[in-house]
Amino acid sequence: MTREMLKNHTDLISSEIAEGTGAGIALATRPEGFRTGLDIWFSDLERNRGPVVELRPKGLKSHQVELRFGNFARPIIEQISEAPDEDIELARSLIESIKAEAKVAIPGQTMDGWLVSDGRFRMHATLRHAESSDNPEAMIATCREVIVPMMAAMAELIGYDVMVVEVDDDDNLEGAVTKREITRRERNPRNRLLCLRIHGHTCKSCGLIPSSLYGTAGSIIEVHHLQPLSSLGEPRKYDPRTDLAPLCPNCHRAVHTRKPTPYSILEIQSLMGEHVD
């Protein structure tokens, strides 16, 4: 993989990872003998002050990925050590969602109980492709299947939030022009990523696959928390397999028309007048 080939792929790699993690991404090539590797990190951190993913070729058809921490990442590692249990479980689930053929390994730790405790933390993966690792399809596959879950897990532990600005016009009277903007924080990019990796793109309520109806404009599937965290009587382990579900926008809006307790998916199906598996 030559430096020029990697340079041609940096925009593609950056956009794939930024979309999946909900965080800004920076990249730089690094020489590796006759071939070249690529370092990827969060743009608001210097390369040596946070997690870095190194992407490099292995043979002609494989990509090797290593996640490590920079030499001056101690403040970020201390921040990660204070991550709440829910964020830790989501981070672990993101890593667990990586396909088995990528051969993810965390030296010295188990896959279901790993923690970032110091700068010696490492995570390795190797993904083999059917064709050359130089082509865009192979790059996209490595990003989506390996690098995005790894960096999304780190983003969750660090606590990156996505800022969403909404306009609330519920209080507007007819003819009024005043609107109120509400800024809220959410981690939907990473919840969405994990939910769709586990459950697919079919609405769990009505069975619609938006992409089959809308084509290239059909990635309009939303992520629903089956039990709002605010309604929990006491903390419990977060399980994305049972706590998250993909819903089409109509069903998601319908679920939340009842407050403070949203309708269940079964109740929405009943209201639709038919049961959908």
The model's confidence at residue 183, banded by pLDDT at 50, 70 and 90, is: very low
Residue ranges and CATH numbers for the domains of the chain are: 3-158 (3.30.1460), 187-271 (no CATH)
Joined together, the tokens standing for residue 250 give 């109509």
Higher pLDDT, 3 or 151: 151
The torsion of the CA quartet 192, 133, 12, 124, rounded to 10 degrees, works out to 50
CA 270 to chain centre: 32
User: Closest by alpha carbon to 190, among 19, 16, 26?
Assistant: 19
Residue 6 has pLDDT above 70, yes or no: no
Residue 27 has pLDDT above 60, yes or no: yes
Q: Is-above-0.85 flag for pTM?
A: no
What would the DSSP string read from start to end of 233-259?
SS-----HHHHEEEE-HHHHHHHTTSS
* Rounded Cα gap, residues 59 and 180, in angstroms: 56
Residue 24 has pLDDT above 60, yes or no: yes
Asked if residues 227 and 221 have their Cβ atoms less than 8 Å apart, the reply is no
Higher pLDDT, 275 or 251: 251
- The pLDDT of residue 236 is 58
Q: How many CA atoms lie within 13 A of 226 on its CB side?
A: 16
Counting other chains too, the contacts that 228-234 makes at CB distance below 8 Å and 24 or more residues apart are: 228/261, 228/262, 229/86, 231/260, 231/261
